[in-house]
Chains A and B, each alone.
Chain A
Amino acid sequence: MSSSQHYDVAIIGAGPAGLAAAATAAERGARVVCIDANDQPGGQFWRHRPEDTHPEDDGSLHHDWKTYLRLRAGFDAAAAVGSLCFYPGRQVWMAQREDNGFTLRTTASAQAGRAAPGPQTVRATQLVVCAGGYDRQLPVPGWDLPGVMAAGGIQAFIKANGMLPGKRFVVAGTGPFLLPVAANIAEAGGAVAAVCESADLTGWFPHLATAARVPAKALEGTEYAKSFLKHRIPYRTRTVVTEVLGSDRVQAVRTAKVDSHGRTVQGSERLIEDVDAVGFGWGFTAQMELPVALGAETRVDDDGSLVGVVDSQQHSSVPGLYLAGEVSGVGGAALAVVEGVIAGRAAAASTAAQSSAAESSAADVRLARKAGTYRAFARAMHLAHPVPAGWQDWLRPETTVCRCEEVTAGDIAAAKEHLCATDARTMKSMTRTGMGWCQGKVCGFAVSCLAGTEGASAESLRSVAKRPVSVPVTLSELLTLEDEQVLETTTDH
């Protein structure tokens, strides 16, 4: 009847959460399929050099590499015995609910080079979305110059290619994640002119070891502190980059101090010259389009990001749909792994006939406690690293906000004032923000803030995450689409 393959559990993403979920579910007897856009497992955190050319990654650029090797061993073992089917280099561009599970439509991440083969349609009874996230961005004059990258993009570049996308860097934004980026740049031989952290961290950095109740994370923090000292990296708190300067690429940045209310302090500007690379990161945005398309309930987390609502089993509001890792709350790789294990166990259990109840309840308690500790830590981090309240002050009318459609801050202000565009959806209608190639992934948070009156509303963030086509797909691929078997309907309005 149908040529597509049916599995017990489908897992989208092979990052920390997805690897853990896949290995766990397969180990517990489920027939598992895992799909990841990248050519090999690891996700963002454990992104590494291609295994065919660099088979022996020593993990020197990574934290908790041992955990990765352990999860990877489980993942590979399951694949070897055929209980796990892994499709790398393919992206799920659409997910639908069916009467007996989920339908996923996949497309190759690239049409050139080593375009990855794989099934167009995959069906599974349970679905675990572990799609992770990406650096959250705030527009700043000059941020569209070549040489400006997402902080995580610099990190990914180093980890995947073993080289640097520049020589002298400024890393700016907020959050503990700026530290490993700067440290990796330095370890790879780059110069870091400054790390600009907008938050006022007197209180926990560099006393991370005591502030954090999570031992591994604390250890990581002290390592970065050592690395900063060794490489003489200036770490400036309450400092933001208010402008990137250059004609056809980055040459310098202007920084300013922010006061305790997150507003830039007049007269505190400084120029940092001879910079050829800038990395910005304001926390992370979870990749929410698939859960949103499936109708999962969402919430705005402490960091202002839209994430999925889950119960103690990582189960979403949609029957059979589990969310683990950043999509259920941005909280780092260690938390993602624990959530992946919990989701993998739960998804496998609900497809399996038997489950060893006694053994699992003890483990459940252990896992829940662990997740709770990590979440408390994540929450502390979120509260310590807010997006500075005054970030809009550094915009000029001509500053690009939507990079794809080249919509400026001035266009947005005009639509808000004259056309009542006071949410992200209406702003999109009136100015084209979020209508381009990335479909608002990059500008969505900023546009939600700019359109609203009191920051980004949940409604705006949700409308921005509505992307029925999560990655572009050719018309020829639509021609061969197999029908869905959808019984459920969702009603608009």
Chain B
Amino acid sequence: MNPASDVLVVGAGVVGSAIAYFATLEGLSVTVLERGLPASGTSSACEGNILVSDKEPGPELELTKYSLGVWKQDLAEHADLWEFEGKGGIIVASRESSLASLNRLTAAQRSYGVDARELSTHQLRDLEPNISPGALGAAYYPEDSQVQPMLAAAQLLRMARANGARFFPNTKVAGFLNDGGKVTGVRTSAGNFAAGAVANATGTWAADLAALAGANVPVKPRRGFVMVTEPLPPMIHHKVYAAEYVDNVGSSDAGLQSSPVVEGTPAGSILIGSSRERVGFDGTVSVPALRAMAENATELFPFLNKVKILRHYHGFRPYCPDHLPVIGHDERAPGLWHASGHEGAGIGLSVGTGKLMAQALAGKEPDLSLAPFAPHRFGGFQSGSTTIQEACA
């Protein structure tokens, strides 16, 4: 048996790393288990935006605002480690109808305390000189920010380790230990690990892990492609996307949805998204997705026509049917905690999630209520403890 710890974090993506770091700040002893290397899951197959702009008023927006505060205040001194950039976001409307819904969105967001400013086409062109002449109007969100997500995950983990957390890479959790219906640790390829609490931070694979404890956490993969261009001098200065994007994010349709999301990066390459489709863990290149993304991006920024892509990649967003993450203690399987299902916002939400989880794990009242994210909202109380025994048999 490996040494026991207060908290066992499963998964060293950005969410697991953030939990580990904040848990050490709470004085908890922490062990992190990861089947691969840090950020080898979705946290290295995404973009690093921290967006308030794409959120409708509701619990996710609350969590976003909280998390943004953690990035900007709690972690201010470390900002350079993950290339934090408060670049600002711009939503562009190219149709009268989308302009109207954009204006409705910004009004609602403003009433929630989001800094959302309507831009005239003139002002838009000042901020983004290369934008398409077809743009009818836009909204500007100065709070929208960006980090390099792989560095965020790996550096948060390094900071956790510096505070005493132990890290076991290449260690896959294959089952749970339990005692009288309570989760007391995990079984892995590297032996058993005992812990006061086990935090499931396995992102898109959270349902599999939860199932080992008999708990239903219906996280599913939602595939997205990103295209990366050749390095260019700065041509796009903010995170720029089209008003339809907000609808696509909120859609539960399994088919392909694509709307332009374009941004420059410090390295000079431009990242072009986005596509969303639920096709399981299918890693096959999709020509319709690439073509749709190219169409959308060149419509927004016509100069991109002649620009070359050097590569594309895809990831699987941890999607929950109600588009809310799963955060907190699982009453169906006592001792098991969850922090997953952040879908397309897990980077932005990670540090807020981590801090709130750490507070709750330390027995404190979290700064923000975790009730809307409760794992047992999916039901399935009854099967709890017996299934745990079966899983461990």
Please give the residue numbers on chain A whose beta carbons come within 8 Å of chain B beta carbons, in ascending order: 94, 96, 293, 405, 418-423, 425-426, 429-430, 432, 435-437, 439, 467-469, 472-476, 478-479, 481-484, 486, 488-493
Point out the residue from A293, A418, A425, A475 that lies within 8 Å of B305, measured CB to CB: A475
Residue among B287, B297, B298 with max Cβ neighbours from chain A (10 Å): B287
Q: Is the CB of B282 within 8 A of A478?
A: no
Total A-B residue contacts, Cβ distance less than 8 Å? 125
| Given contacts A469-B311, A483-B287, A419 and B282 within 8 Å (CB-CB) | no
Closest Cβ–Cβ distance, residue B261 to chain A (whole Å)? 14
| Given contacts A423-B37, A469-B309, A491-B282, A435 and B267 within 8 Å (CB-CB) | yes
Q: Is the CB of B158 within 8 A of A419?
A: yes
Complex CA–CA separation, A472 to B311 (angstroms): 7
Complex CA–CA separation, A483 to B291 (angstroms): 9
> What are the residues of chain B within 8 A of A430 when measuring CB–CB?
150-151, 154
Point out the residue from A420, A467, A475 that lies within 8 Å of B294, measured CB to CB: A475
Asked whether B192 is an interface residue with its Cβ less than 8 Å from the other chain, the reply is no
Q: Is the CB of A491 within 8 A of B287?
A: no
Q: Is the CB of B290 within 8 A of A478?
A: yes
Complex CA–CA separation, A492 to B40 (angstroms): 12
Q: Is the CB of B282 within 8 A of A490?
A: yes
> What are the residues of chain B within 8 A of A481 when measuring CB–CB?
287, 290-291
Please give the residue numbers on chain B whose beta carbons come within 8 Å of chain A beta carbons, in ascending order: 37-40, 44, 150-151, 154-155, 157-158, 167, 169, 205, 227-231, 267, 269, 272, 279-285, 287-288, 290-291, 293-295, 297-298, 304-313, 316
Q: Is the CB of A478 within 8 A of B284?
A: no
Complex CA–CA separation, A435 to B271 (angstroms): 13
Closest Cβ–Cβ distance, residue B180 to chain A (whole Å)? 34
| Given contacts A469-B312, A489-B282, A420 and B288 within 8 Å (CB-CB) | no
Complex CA–CA separation, A193 to B388 (angstroms): 73
> What are the residues of chain A within 8 A of B169 when measuring CB–CB?
420, 422
| Given contacts A419-B155, A491-B281, A491-B282, A484 and B267 within 8 Å (CB-CB) | no
Q: List 11 A-B contacts (CB under 8 A).
A: A420-B38, A420-B167, A426-B38, A426-B39, A429-B154, A436-B231, A436-B310, A472-B309, A475-B298, A475-B306, A476-B298
Point out the residue from B39, B269, B272 that lies within 8 Å of A429, measured CB to CB: B39
Q: Is the CB of B157 within 8 A of A474?
A: no
Closest Cβ–Cβ distance, residue B247 to chain A (whole Å)? 23
Complex CA–CA separation, A82 to B209 (angstroms): 59
Closest Cβ–Cβ distance, residue A37 to chain B (whole Å)? 16
Q: Is the CB of A486 within 8 A of B309?
A: no
Residue of A nearest to B154 (CB): A419
Complex CA–CA separation, A467 to B310 (angstroms): 9
Closest Cβ–Cβ distance, residue A463 to chain B (whole Å)? 10
In addition to A474-B308, A490-B284, 16 A-B residue pairs with Cβ atoms within 8 Å of each other are: A96-B284, A418-B158, A421-B37, A422-B37, A425-B44, A426-B44, A426-B150, A469-B310, A475-B227, A475-B294, A476-B294, A478-B291, A479-B295, A486-B284, A492-B283, A493-B205
Q: Is the CB of B313 within 8 A of A468?
A: yes
Closest Cβ–Cβ distance, residue B305 to chain A (whole Å)? 4
Closest Cβ–Cβ distance, residue B274 to chain A (whole Å)? 15
Residue among A94, A293, A469 with max Cβ neighbours from chain B (10 Å): A469
Closest Cβ–Cβ distance, residue A408 to chain B (whole Å)? 15
Point out the residue from A421, A469, A474 that lies within 8 Å of B154, measured CB to CB: A421
Q: Is the CB of A472 within 8 A of B308?
A: yes
Complex CA–CA separation, A435 to B150 (angstroms): 14
| Given contacts A94-B285, A469-B310, A479-B298, A405 and B39 within 8 Å (CB-CB) | no
> What are the residues of chain B within 8 A of A488 when measuring CB–CB?
284
Complex CA–CA separation, A293 to B272 (angstroms): 21
Q: Is the CB of B281 within 8 A of A492?
A: yes
Q: Is the CB of A489 within 8 A of B305?
A: no
Residue among A418, A421, A482, A493 with max Cβ neighbours from chain B (10 Å): A493
Closest Cβ–Cβ distance, residue B293 to chain A (whole Å)? 8
Q: Is the CB of A478 within 8 A of B267?
A: no
Q: Is the CB of A473 within 8 A of B311?
A: no
Closest Cβ–Cβ distance, residue B117 to chain A (whole Å)? 30
> What are the residues of chain B within 8 A of A478 when measuring CB–CB?
290-291, 293-294, 309
Residue of A nearest to B297 (CB): A475
| Given contacts A420-B38, A420-B169, A426-B37, A468 and B285 within 8 Å (CB-CB) | yes
> What are the residues of chain B within 8 A of A475 when measuring CB–CB?
227, 229, 272, 294, 297-298, 304-309
> What are the residues of chain B within 8 A of A492 when measuring CB–CB?
281-283, 316
Closest Cβ–Cβ distance, residue A121 to chain B (whole Å)? 10
Closest Cβ–Cβ distance, residue B302 to chain A (whole Å)? 10
Q: Is the CB of B309 within 8 A of A420?
A: no
Residue among A96, A423, A468, A472 with max Cβ neighbours from chain B (10 Å): A468
> What are the residues of chain A within 8 A of B150 when measuring CB–CB?
426, 429-430
Q: Is the CB of A491 within 8 A of B280?
A: yes
Complex CA–CA separation, A419 to B282 (angstroms): 29
Q: Is the CB of A468 within 8 A of B294?
A: no
| Given contacts A426-B37, A475-B307, A475-B309, A489 and B298 within 8 Å (CB-CB) | no
